[in-house]
Amino acid sequence: MKLEIIPAIDLIDGACVRLTQGDYARQTTYFRDPLDAALRFEEAGVRRLHMVDLDGAKAQRPANLAVLERVATRTSLEVQYGGGIKERTSLCDVFSAGARRAVCGSVAVRDPERFDAWLDEFGGERLILGADLRDGRVAVQGWTESSAWSAEELIDRFLARGLRQVICTDISRDGMLCGPATDLYAALQQRFPDVEITVSGGVSAWADLETLERAGLRSVIVGKAIYEGRITLKELKRCLQNE
């Protein structure tokens, strides 16, 4: 399988949790110590890990950097980290704690000139645009507010500045195990062939991954489907060993 599978670790109070449709009141804790999850992913052959600081998204500054540092120093995983990165100091803190890439969403919507400057300084290889969609519009502030931007408009805005990676989440499907919005992601990937569109939200089974690969997608974030055993680490390991 050429599609890169990126397991997700969402953080609240230092624990590995999952929310349903981004609702903080609908929370399930899977690992008290996220490093335990990260080590299992590493053992399965995973290369990249997606970490979301849900506390940071609310606080508007990263709040789980100690967890990031432990995972980055105790594993070989390439960590991409998002949640609350609004200031350059926060961005530098995330990189200093060991993240290979940083995911920025709200700041790109609210202060596009600042995100322009970050793309100029750090490059499209290290910065990922987070485009989280509710009813076709990009949501910000930990999915609590909607903006006027569509995903296409937001990607277009930063393309000339060197944007190369976008994580697009369909909030309505996130944590629902109902299958991803494949047509949405395939259309974005076809429109922006030089940008890696990472799928997020709704993956429920291995068949979903095969469908996404056939549709031309390059990477996918998988969370609840792994934690609920719909996609097993044994399957993941077998697939990665056969690459």
Could you list the beta-strand ranges (E) of 54-164: 78-82, 101-104, 127-134, 137-140, 145-146
| Calpha distance 63→78 (Å, rounded) | 20
| Calpha distance 226→157 (Å, rounded) | 34
Sign of CA dihedral 95, 31, 53, 4: positive
- What is the bridge-based pairing of β-strands 165-170 and 145-146? unpaired
DSSP-based three-state secondary structure for 192? coil
Helices and strands in the chain, H and E counts? 11, 12
Q: Are 153 and 119 in contact (CB under 8 A)?
A: no
**Which helix or strand (DSSP H or E) is residue 40 part of?**
helix 34-44
Active site residues: 10, 132
The identity of residue 151, as a single letter, is A
